[in-house]
Chain A
């Protein structure tokens, strides 16, 4: 049994995808920019276009940073669960292979935060 318990103990996970009203969770982190203390969590419909996440959502989340306006998205490097990964901006999250609670990160070469301190 995957828990120390007196008797049989099995429950649904608190965060199964059915609980998010048609959305799934996606976590997004920006490497070398710890001005943002932690990666972000977002609820998105799986049919959402990946490019819309980058163009519509990320500016509000990361736009405070002076580096954000300098990002060349064509040069950005992406990682999924830490492994190099290439998203297709015109495909949906689902078609990009992103499922519930996947974590992606992007690195923006040449941009290393406030005073180059990864802040």
Chain B
């Protein structure tokens, strides 16, 4: 009698192999170089894509199932948070300014990461990395969406969150994260993978997400905390992919080593410059601190990153040269960054303030070698002047670094009293930089960076006023015109936290929620 033997179900590994290698094919009537036009111009040599080890094996059906489950939980929490006026349970209304900075500065990068991985997922000739990039691309657009949805609740009650996408492409300090990602996405597919997949997602991601997600948790922001946790399992996958890409390139051909090393050097620096914003968030903007920026750098870079580079040493990769300077900067970064936003508090879409006495003491304790000596005097001066009604608002536009686009606020690595000035001549013009590392990046590819859209220069060229503005008209107010172009509401989104609408509303609403008056 015939036995009807049920066909054995495919293992996850087999399924994954069918989805990647099994569905791939060799083109016959087009050359492979025409199908993958970006694969070779960066100089990376790949001899055998089949040597690629899939760092995780996730098939589409499993992917949808996991993600749908996570989304259901996330949206349940977001709804509950909104219905229970969760925004009133944050430590104090100053916290919400970190949310504003995140939504305008970071969430649009998630969307750009979605585009970047979709592009690379099309351009890499190997089927394994193509599928991995495709999934990461879908993750990234989910992250952008869940962040926007989670944070939109704050937009109902607080200022500065109303037009984050418009601001991201225009506002002076947002050109820092924007130009960082634009630099990556306009590079070739391999450099993009090193820039975002490895340097940002692997080496630096903990320094962005741990402070932000823990900061949210410490400060009572359930919605931001939940999207952070919801993204966490994806991040683990992204990190594995970033590391696999590096190892694969280095194993394929010894000629790849110097190229990969240069990209790691470049993107470790570019990424850390962007993290300046996180440093000041940790030390100045979270009412309830988690740890100092300096401590975070020591734990997440010096310890974890140190182990990583030890592991990569067998491929010939060395610790990026810039790390020495970043290690010196950890004493100063957050203070210099916050001082800059305090200076330009009239042109920021979030509020700034001077730390109170307790907070200054915390800073002295965390930064015994730098805070009292260099930074306390200026903060106390600003505080005392503000109390006299003479709050400092710097109205003159700053000089910017051509590469990272940050105002030239950084000091010499060995002298915190001297601004670090670097310059070079290329063709007919001079170019200025905040550091040796930004200068080196420029000098390797000047044709790319001479096109930087530097917000200060664009304002002076007349490109940052609303359409129809006549800058020659009598009584023309350039700051007002620039803020109008940014869609920033003067007196509501900007200026000091003290006396702001956010501060007054939060106090009034919390009063209603917690008392009988």
Q: Type the 1/0 row for B335-347, where 1 means its CB is closer than 8 Å to any CB of A.
A: 0100110011000
Tell me, in angstroms, the Cα distance from A6 to B39 when the chains sit together. 10
Contacts A37-B398, A37-B407 supplied; 16 other A-B pairs, CB < 8 Å: A1-B447, A4-B42, A4-B187, A13-B427, A14-B452, A32-B417, A34-B419, A38-B407, A39-B419, A39-B421, A40-B399, A99-B430, A100-B429, A101-B430, A113-B377, A117-B378
Q: Which B residues form the contact surface with A (CB < 8 A)?
A: 37-38, 41-43, 187-188, 191, 336, 339-340, 343-344, 373-375, 377-378, 381-382, 392, 394-400, 407-409, 411, 417-419, 421, 423, 426-432, 445-448, 450-454, 456-457, 460-462
A23 at the interface (CB under 8 A from B): yes
A116 to B457, CA, bound (A): 33
- A102 to B431 CA separation, bound complex (whole angstroms): 9
- Residue pairs across A and B with CB atoms within 8 Å: the count is 146
Closest to A119 in B: B378
Q: Is the CB of B397 within 8 A of A15?
A: no
B243 CB, nearest partner CB in chain A, Å: 23
* A-chain residues with CB within 8 Å of residue B418 when the two chains form the complex: 31
Q: Any chain B CB within 8 A of the CB of A76?
A: no
**Chain B residues positioned under 8 Å from A3 (CB to CB):** 445-448
Q: What are the 9 closest A-B residue pairs judged by CB atoms, nearest first?
A: A119-B378, A3-B447, A13-B450, A118-B417, A38-B407, A38-B398, A61-B396, A37-B340, A117-B377
Nearest B residue to A26 by beta-carbon distance? B399
Q: How far is the CB of A71 from chain B (nearest CB, A)?
A: 17
Tally A residues with Cβ within 8 Å of B: 50
Nearest A residue to B390 via CB reads: A64
Flag A94-119 by CB within 8 Å of B: 1 or 0 each: 00000111110100000001110111
Residues of B within 8 A of A25 (CB): 457, 460
Residues in A whose Cβ lies below 8 Å from that of B408: 29, 38-39
* Min CB–CB distance B427 → chain A (angstroms): 8
Q: Does A47 contact B (CB under 8 A)?
A: no
**How many angstroms from the CA of A64 to the CA of B419 in the assembled complex?**
20
> In the complex, which residues of chain B have a beta carbon less than 8 angstroms from the beta carbon of A69?
none
5 inter-chain pairs at a CB distance below 8 angstroms, sorted by A residue, are: A38-B399, A39-B421, A41-B399, A119-B375, A119-B377
Given A37-B409, A119-B377, A20–B460 Cβ distance below 8 Å? yes
Q: Which residues of A contact B187 (CB under 8 A)?
A: 4
CB-nearest residue of chain B relative to A9?
B447
A75 interfacial contact with B, CB 8 Å: no
Checking A15, A34, A37 against B417 with a beta-carbon cut-off of 8 angstroms, the contacting residue is A34
Check B447–A11 contact: CB distance below 8 A.
yes
Contact status B38-A6, CB under 8 Å: yes
Give Cα A10 to B421, complex, Å.
27
Which residues in B have their C-beta under 8 angstroms from that of A20? 460-461
